[in-house]
Structure 1
């Protein structure tokens, strides 16, 4: 397989930033509900989406013809009901392929998925951005996706998410990456493959993964003002994103608030530049540990040592407290219903989550905030939803 397919209009294939939101068109809403509620019936689609029965029937037929939905046999339980048993609907898309990447500071996660989001292949590409020019790094990502998709059906879409912000014009400026106003959209668009390409900020794609995996609600079940969630990702880099209503917030500049940076740089961790990550990221924390005489090479090692070493535990606690101050400030400004933590700053160190949660509860004990941790594979899901963004937004386009 190569990334060359039939020519398509330039307006459809020019790389653009993904705007993650609940679907708008009837066909996209029907596909979303079938993907997130496998085994749903046409009657239930009519009730959930408040579409007429003929409209549901028309959209389902078109999606079946497109190979994105398939019809299953009536369930055994329906045999006891009065009248003709209804068939159930399942996501299909097996003959579609989408290729996605999440570009981190030192490694890139590559995924191949089918049209329903089922994983087909994955690979981790060691790609230290500080050692490469932006052009060479993006060429390596493109080559990695081509290799990953070999012998699979030609991809219908590509997606690349970055752990640093991507602005509306498809440009990346990142002190951590060592990139200054890099035209990512232009560089990736030079290949002229004819395949639609979506770009995203990684933590925004993580938030988008929740929207794409949550069934749509009927009007009677709507939350006043819609859902609101704060996503925080902390590994080599630290970033956040919002779900407000039924869309992921699109920041105007994508830069971290000055107040957040001031907090991050106020402790024992050195400000990091030019490919060495965030002041509260993995590299900065491990550098601080080594300065204190701790011979560790990963956050899990530092967490394991902290069970018997007070210096290691104090270092992790300090990072958690600084992260907690940043998160508390964000929560107080926007007042979300849910906070979701992703990245090994949280997953590798459960005590960090307790410290941050305790700070949030002390700042607003009656807020009723729901605190969650993202599951494993969040980087792969971010890459996949970016890759599938155009298909799921306009499945019949």
Structure 2
């Protein structure tokens, strides 16, 4: 048997925080092993209990983040990213006929994903009769998402338009736990977070290490070797009826860029459309590309050997203690302790760096090595925009300045926009992973 899988800091443009995606079809081998069933046992003729049939594993998919392609999904995307928009503006923005816009809007209203605003609700300036503007709805729906980091996992519950309902941080040290135990804890945490909320319509899990095309994760930092996360989560969600979506975390962060930008407005002055490099650096370091209207989907997601050689060339190469990344938080803090600086977080090290030259020296060295890696990536693909996400950048503004000088110094004629992601990027990555199926096909 096979399980068929239907194969995200952004610039905020609306109150919803995230947006739609499309997916392609991928097929994973059926998960092996039996799953728990809560069905009552039946007695056979001899009075012995017959084993209950195992529940069917959940459908598991790998998210393929891209701008929406179907009419209803495009209309929903535009309403979510431009709350207060009118039907006439939808007609202009999406190049759809007025009858087609009217039909799609009516269907989305019937589905509870869009509401028609009263004049008091709408912030848009409109011409014509009042009450004709549109807002995202979806309050009757819940989606559950997780971003699985090396030692902590961010859990979120959002409604159908991406508005946050609940969140929780789960302390989960992956190197110290068997993969099955860790993933079952993630699933249990999500279902616990959903108690008392409307029935969930989707569950999404993004990993700070790459998820390959077959739904497996191999990570030296995690201590995982080709772990079948699709199979484990499919069994954990067996019998729930909930589809499960998987993503690589930095890819989901890039996907949140697509879900937060109105169609037809992003990088319209750039030949070939949007071109963005996303770089995430905290405990692990990873990158993703937006090319045109989609996030590039690597087959294996393995970091290039050249990146690893650069990362291991500095003072942090022996700081990993078997986990993390040479330029990650653990490595930097261990290097600090070896230099006589006792701090428990990068934020403390940054605060100390204004008076302690050794602290600033360590932070600058990491920024220089990150700059070499990012510069190499930029040279290969030549993006129009680079976005930095994660504590390595948000806690240390000086790091961004060093890397920016590095990039612009290498190619002074390049048109390069450098941005820093805002707070909450992990939660948004988890949310768009959970919602991408709904937003890709809202009337399914």
Query: Which TM class, normalised by the smaller chain length?
Result: over 0.9
Structure 1 residue 121 displacement after superposition:
0.3
Aligned to 1:7: none
- Confirm whether residue 67 of structure 1 aligns to residue 115 of structure 2: no
Aligned to 1:121: 166
Question: Given the alignment, which residue of 346, 370, 373 partners 1:323?
Answer: 370
- Confirm whether residue 230 of structure 1 aligns to residue 277 of structure 2: yes
- Confirm whether residue 211 of structure 1 aligns to residue 258 of structure 2: yes
Distance 1:84 1:281, change over 3 A: same
Question: Given the alignment, which residue of 95, 98, 101 partners 1:50?
Answer: 95
Aligned to 1:353: 400
Is the partner of 2:246 in helix, strand or coil? Answer: strand
Structure 1 residue 168 displacement after superposition:
1.3
**CA offsets 1:126-177 (integer angstroms, 9 cap, x no match):** 0000110000000100110011000001100000000000011111000000
Is the partner of 2:431 in helix, strand or coil? Answer: helix
Structure 1 residue 224 displacement after superposition:
2.2
1:221, 1:307 → 2: CA distance?
Answer: 41
Is the partner of 1:213 in helix, strand or coil? Answer: coil
Matched ranges for 1:304-315 at <5 A: 304-315=351-362
Aligned to 2:190: 145
> Residue 211 of structure 2 contacts residue 217 of structure 2 at CA under 8 Å; is this kept in 1?
yes
1:241, 1:370 → 2: CA distance?
Answer: 16
Pairs aligned (count): 388
Is the partner of 2:276 in helix, strand or coil? Answer: strand
Is the partner of 1:388 in helix, strand or coil? Answer: helix
Aligned to 1:94: 139
Aligned to 1:130: 175
- Confirm whether residue 280 of structure 1 aligns to residue 306 of structure 2: no
> Residue 266 of structure 2 contacts residue 274 of structure 2 at CA under 8 Å; is this kept in 1?
no
Distance 1:218 1:293, change over 3 A: closer
2:171, 2:302 → 1: CA distance?
Answer: 26
- Confirm whether residue 171 of structure 1 aligns to residue 216 of structure 2: yes
Structure 1 residue 270 displacement after superposition:
2.2
- Confirm whether residue 391 of structure 1 aligns to residue 428 of structure 2: no
Structure 1 residue 275 displacement after superposition:
6.0
Q: TM-score, normalised by structure 2?
A: 0.84
Aligned to 2:350: 303
Q: Which runs of 5+ in 1 are unaligned?
A: 5-9
> Residue 337 of structure 1 contacts residue 370 of structure 1 at CA under 8 Å; is this kept in 2?
yes
- Structure 1 runs (4+) deviating above 3 angstroms are 74-81, 83-86, 218-223, 271-275
Is the partner of 2:341 in helix, strand or coil? Answer: coil
Distance 1:73 1:61, change over 3 A: same
Structure 1 residue 272 displacement after superposition:
6.4
> Residue 116 of structure 2 contacts residue 131 of structure 2 at CA under 8 Å; is this kept in 1?
no
1:77, 1:115 → 2: CA distance?
Answer: 21
Aligned to 1:241: 288
> Residue 166 of structure 1 contacts residue 200 of structure 1 at CA under 8 Å; is this kept in 2?
yes
Is the partner of 1:136 in helix, strand or coil? Answer: helix
> Residue 276 of structure 1 contacts residue 284 of structure 1 at CA under 8 Å; is this kept in 2?
no
Aligned to 1:369: 416
2:385, 2:141 → 1: CA distance?
Answer: 34
Distance 1:58 1:306, change over 3 A: same
1:103, 1:74 → 2: CA distance?
Answer: 42
Aligned to 2:66: 21
